[in-house]
A and B are shown apart, each in its own frame.
Chain A
Amino acid sequence: MPLDNAPDSKRKFNVVGTRPLRPDGIDKVTGRAKFGADASAPGQLVGRILRSPHAHAVIRKIDTSKAEKLAGVKAVITRDDFPDHTDGDAALYDTMYNIMAREKALYEGHAVAAVAATTASIARQALKLIKVDYEILPHVTDVDEAMKPNAPLLHKKMFTDGVDPKPKKPSNVARRFEFGHGDVEEGFKKADIIVERSFKTEATHQGYIEPHAALASMSPDGSADLWCCTQGHYMVRDVCARILGIDISRLRVTQSEIGGGFGGKTTVFIEPVALALSRKANRPVKVVMTRDEVFKATGPTSSTSMDIKIGVTKDGLITAADGTFRYQGGPFAGCSPAEFGAMSAFAQFHLDNVRAIGYDVVCNRPKTISYRAPGAPMANFAVESVIEELAHKLGMAPIDFRIKNAAREGTKSSYGPVYGPIGLGPTLEAAKNHPHFKAPLGPNQGRGMAAGFWFNFGGQSCVSLNIPTDGTITVSVGSPDIGGSRASMCMMVAEELGIGYEHVRAIIADTSSLGHNDVTDGSRTTFATGMACILAARDAIKKLCQRAAATWGIPEDAVTWEKGFAKPAGANAGNFAPLSLKEIAAASPGTGGPIAGHHEFSADGAGVSFATHICDVEIDPETGASKIVRYTVIQDAGKAVHPSYVEGQFQGGAVQGIGWALNEEYIYGKDGRLQNAGFLDYRIPVCSDLPMIDTQILEIPNPGHPYGVRGVGETSIVPPLAAIANAVAAATGVRFTQLPLSPPRVLKGIEDAKAKGKKAA
């Protein structure tokens, strides 16, 4: 529920906005912190997964008899060990199909069997003894190819949803979406200049450094414990229990420290497999993915193909914007973020006429899963590239063109709702006034910029706060801490209670200790779980005041809480010396027992967020290599609880975007196999590729949060693709419409342009 707790803009914060040390810091710098693969259990077995070498094949038969006979093998499982308990839930069925192939293997790396053995080498041997009889089918991995009428079909029963009339022939297009308002055709009639371009981007992987890991222990009676690295252990619990057909309450999931997720750990992969192996072997089983498996069978995000058309008047007003966004989402319907791409593409503009059409397309590639602001970066790349080109055609500074057409409070967004107070205008103005914007450029350098948007959302959180007798605080939250959120939770609790940060400790509770908490995604944790912490603290304060009131023998409402003390509310309430948190806690055994605060809710009112990025790139004209020489992120955080970690989110997102723009891509061979499933060939940015990433945090309070917090985690990956493409265009004079901007592509672009120039001359 939204809270009637609009931020008090004059509020002075004592703890929020400072930069205390994180509570898990020492564990993480000493190697003590336990991540997914760091746990073990007595008698544990090693679980390994056999994967399809084919991009598309019917699985006729799986013969596991030889593997089962190998000494040391304790369990072998296949599709037969996952009877369908999904009860018509199509998304759950697809999740189950993805963790263990059924009739067909739908992509290279699709799991087809798994073993649990006493050692890793026996498990490896056992995999070799499993005989799978495949009937190889034609495959398709490119989104445009997959949409062609004669493309190899993944599902015979897939008829495009969202088109009228309903198609008679099946296709690989799962769904069509359309968003927008006004009349784009009319709008284009009013335009003096129209630019129309097509774009392509490649699939990228979230690239978290920690591969998925799970340690499962399940008894034949159906009770189970699971330890794993995930962005949402409650989601893991619910999904695994339903796939395995057990009661949700029988499964307790404990969340390990998580070594990065970025959306990639918001579903299950090996967790149900580890549980099923453990059930069959009746021993604990640990499954850890290799990097190769991570690339081939988890993640990635969509590859895309997009058309953008935007019209403007001579004085630089956009009259119409139209876009088509084709996203492949791997082999299952509804997995690509095409709808969010289409919804977010034009969200930074004030538009009278806008239309965005999205297509969700299936391909023989791994099932895509959210990657930081899912769907938005690629759409933003296409749109902001056209915007830059239009500005040049108009002879207008791109920044002024953007400011002139920027969405503002009251704008009807391109995806429907009307905006409340938003921070786009301020980020654009801040960019214009930033020293980076005016700094001189060197030879072969170009400057680009882009503005981007992300929705953010709230969701369910449950928090429990306990006060031991010394008046310190323990907070249990159910949102995995990916980037320092425990520190922020402690800070907000300390702020409310009026005590020092060092007196609060936050832990991530397992699924049996707290009510449901949604996955840590959508930039929701600091917003929603943070709000639950604030409200749990307020609940505790109420109880602390009750105890003080009872001690003094005055009515409860005659007591207020101030800076860590219960005080009589006014002169009429009586003359009592304030009672400190410590004193009330010490007396608690005799005044009614332990004191605790709770809050559980589904948070809404997360504020949308905007960012503007500026980027300078230098091109080596000999090789086509791009180097980022300066980069600035300006983003509205609503309120930065721990500014260091807000900056960290800005910087991390920007650098993932830099990788996406310049290097990262899934490369498929003609055989439908991934050719670069490793960090050597799938190159994520390293330290020496980058400059410092400057950040500027703006604070335009979100009215939906008591401190004004907005989510910050995702927006920062949205503008880099376009900002870099625009910078490369400025440096080379060539507009690239395909990512990544790898050296060979840029070099070819430069040379083609030269050749053309010569011909023209």
Chain B
Amino acid sequence: MARVVIWGSLKPHTGGRSEVEIEARNVQELLARLGETYPGLQAQIKRGVSVSIDGLIYREGWLQPLAPDSEVFLLPRMQGG
């Protein structure tokens, strides 16, 4: 199960928890399951998220595989100038 850390202001959507565990093989699956389990997160997922998997940031990369013990951070979708 991947450990997913969400940012503080999303906590109300996960019952106040900043970390949840999700069974997923890749990012796409992870986001889909997150949305199913915590419907409140769907709006943000739709708006765009980037993820960091074990310290590396992926702006898109939905097929990026997750190891069973991966630590995933949800981040707002990256923008730049």
The answer to whether A binds B is yes
- Taking beta carbons and an 8 Å cutoff, which residues of A are in contact with B? 1-2, 91, 161-165, 175-180, 206, 261-264, 266, 334, 337, 339-340, 343, 355, 357, 370-374, 415-420, 455-460, 521-524, 602, 604-606, 704, 713-714
Quick one: which of B7, B57, B64 contacts A606, CB cutoff 8 A? B57
Residue ID in chain B nearest A1 by CB atoms: B61
Task: Given the known inter-chain contacts A415-B75, A604-B61, please indicate yes or no for A371 contacting B81, CB distance below 8 A.
Answer: yes
Least CB distance, B8 to chain A, in whole angstroms? 3
Cβ contact within 8 Å between A177 and B56: no
Cβ contact within 8 Å between A177 and B80: no
Cβ contact within 8 Å between A266 and B55: no
Cβ contact within 8 Å between B55 and A417: yes
| Measured CA separation A164–B47 after assembly (Å) | 19
Task: Given the known inter-chain contacts A161-B43, A417-B57, A420-B56, please indicate yes or no for A457 contacting B9, CB distance below 8 A.
Answer: no
Which chain B residues lie closer than 8 Å to A2 at the CB level?
56, 58, 64
Near A by CB (< 8 A), chain B positions 6-39 give 7-12
Cβ contact within 8 Å between A523 and B55: no
Quick one: which of A162, A261, A457 contacts B57, CB cutoff 8 A? A457
Least CB distance, B31 to chain A, in whole angstroms? 16
Cβ contact within 8 Å between B8 and A458: no
Which chain A residues lie closer than 8 Å to B9 at the CB level?
162-163, 175-178, 357
Which chain B residues lie closer than 8 Å to A419 at the CB level?
55
Residue ID in chain A nearest B78 by CB atoms: A457
Quick one: which of B8, B50, B52, B80 contacts A370, CB cutoff 8 A? B80
Quick one: which of B10, B75, B80 contacts A524, CB cutoff 8 A? B80
Which chain A residues lie closer than 8 Å to B50 at the CB level?
457
Which chain B residues lie closer than 8 Å to A163 at the CB level?
9, 12
Which chain A residues lie closer than 8 Å to B59 at the CB level?
457-459, 602, 604
Cβ contact within 8 Å between A1 and B64: yes
- Taking beta carbons and an 8 Å cutoff, which residues of B are in contact with A? 5, 7-12, 43, 47, 50, 52, 54-61, 63-64, 73, 75-76, 78-81
Quick one: which of A417, A523, A602 contacts B80, CB cutoff 8 A? A523
| Measured CA separation A371–B73 after assembly (Å) | 25
Which chain B residues lie closer than 8 Å to A602 at the CB level?
59-61
Q: List 7 A-B contacts (CB under 8 A).
A: A164-B11, A266-B81, A373-B81, A417-B73, A602-B59, A602-B61, A604-B57
Of the listed residues B50, B75, B78, B80, the one surrounded by the most CB atoms of chain A closer than 10 A to its CB is: B80
| Measured CA separation A206–B80 after assembly (Å) | 13
Cβ contact within 8 Å between A420 and B7: no
Residue ID in chain B nearest A458 by CB atoms: B59
Which chain A residues lie closer than 8 Å to B8 at the CB level?
177-180, 355, 357
Residue ID in chain A nearest B10 by CB atoms: A162
Which chain A residues lie closer than 8 Å to B81 at the CB level?
206, 261-264, 266, 370-374, 521-522, 713-714
Beyond A459-B59, A521-B81, list 17 extra A-B contacts (CB 8 Å): A1-B64, A164-B11, A176-B9, A178-B8, A263-B80, A339-B76, A343-B76, A370-B79, A372-B81, A373-B81, A416-B5, A456-B80, A458-B59, A522-B81, A523-B80, A602-B61, A605-B56
| Measured CA separation A374–B78 after assembly (Å) | 10
Least CB distance, A543 to chain B, in whole angstroms? 26
Least CB distance, B75 to chain A, in whole angstroms? 7
Cβ contact within 8 Å between A343 and B80: no
Least CB distance, A703 to chain B, in whole angstroms? 9
Task: Given the known inter-chain contacts A604-B59, A605-B56, please indicate yes or no for A416 contacting B7, CB distance below 8 A.
Answer: yes
Least CB distance, A108 to chain B, in whole angstroms? 24
Cβ contact within 8 Å between A417 and B52: yes
| Measured CA separation A370–B59 after assembly (Å) | 17
| Measured CA separation A108–B53 after assembly (Å) | 44
Least CB distance, B53 to chain A, in whole angstroms? 9
Which chain B residues lie closer than 8 Å to A418 at the CB level?
54-55
Which chain B residues lie closer than 8 Å to A334 at the CB level?
47
Cβ contact within 8 Å between B73 and A522: no
Least CB distance, A517 to chain B, in whole angstroms? 13
Cβ contact within 8 Å between A164 and B12: yes
Which chain A residues lie closer than 8 Å to B75 at the CB level?
343, 415-417
Which chain A residues lie closer than 8 Å to B7 at the CB level?
177-179, 415-416
Which chain B residues lie closer than 8 Å to A357 at the CB level?
8-9
Residue ID in chain B nearest A301 by CB atoms: B81
Which chain B residues lie closer than 8 Å to A355 at the CB level?
8
Residue ID in chain A nearest B65 by CB atoms: A1
Cβ contact within 8 Å between B55 and A420: yes
Cβ contact within 8 Å between B52 and A416: yes
Quick one: which of A264, A420, A522, A713 contacts B79, CB cutoff 8 A? A522
Cβ contact within 8 Å between B80 and A714: yes
Residue ID in chain A nearest B43 by CB atoms: A161
Residue ID in chain B nearest A409 by CB atoms: B55
Task: Given the known inter-chain contacts A416-B5, A416-B52, A420-B56, please indicate yes or no for A337 contacting B43, CB distance below 8 A.
Answer: no
Residue ID in chain B nearest A717 by CB atoms: B81
Task: Given the known inter-chain contacts A179-B8, A355-B8, please indicate yes or no for A457 contacting B47, CB distance below 8 A.
Answer: no
Cβ contact within 8 Å between B80 and A522: yes
What 4 pairs between A and B have smallest CB-CB spacing?
A: A522-B80, A263-B81, A178-B8, A164-B12
Cβ contact within 8 Å between B76 and A177: yes
Residue ID in chain A nearest B50 by CB atoms: A457
Residue ID in chain B nearest A164 by CB atoms: B12
Which chain B residues lie closer than 8 Å to A417 at the CB level?
52, 55-57, 73, 75
Residue ID in chain B nearest A602 by CB atoms: B60
| Measured CA separation A11–B13 after assembly (Å) | 49
Which chain B residues lie closer than 8 Å to A373 at the CB level?
80-81
Which chain A residues lie closer than 8 Å to B56 at the CB level?
2, 417, 420, 604-605, 704
Which chain B residues lie closer than 8 Å to A415 at the CB level?
7, 73, 75
Which chain B residues lie closer than 8 Å to A523 at the CB level?
80
Residue ID in chain A nearest B7 by CB atoms: A179
Which chain A residues lie closer than 8 Å to B64 at the CB level?
1-2, 604
| Measured CA separation A250–B31 after assembly (Å) | 33
